[in-house]
Amino acid sequence: MNPNIAKLIVAIVLDILDFTVGRIPGFEFVFDVVMGVAAVILFGWAGLFAFWELGDPTGQVDGFIPTLTLIALSQLNKGGKKSTHPEI
């Protein structure tokens, strides 16, 4: 399996957890920190974007935005692969 696809699947699962478990009052801050650390482990510097969720003190807004999935999708074509389209 392509490692980028595996990361995308992990990101989707973590975002689903964020939509459910991550909305428990009092637990959402801890879960957002864990999600941010997981994003950095998975995606490197691009994963730092996941820490924006800490800026939402209610934990409600970030529950509807699949941050890790969006980061994974942005990283799918990165990784040193050559384009299938030759330079013109």
- Domain count along the chain: 1
What pLDDT score does 41 carry?
A: 95
Is residue 87 situated within a structural domain?
Answer: no
Is residue 88 situated within a structural domain?
Answer: no
Write down the H helix ranges in 1-88.
3-20, 28-43, 67-75
Containing structural domain, residue 71: 3-75
Is residue 43 situated within a structural domain?
Answer: yes
Is residue 81 situated within a structural domain?
Answer: no
Q: What is the pLDDT of residues 25-79, one digit of tens each?
A: 888 888 889 999 999 999 999 999 999 988 887 777 777 889 999 999 999 877 6
For the chain, how far is it from start to end, CA to CA, in angstroms? 32
What pLDDT score does 78 carry?
A: 76
Whether residue 3 is predicted with pLDDT greater than 60 in this model: the reply is yes
Is residue 80 situated within a structural domain?
Answer: no
Is residue 61 situated within a structural domain?
Answer: yes
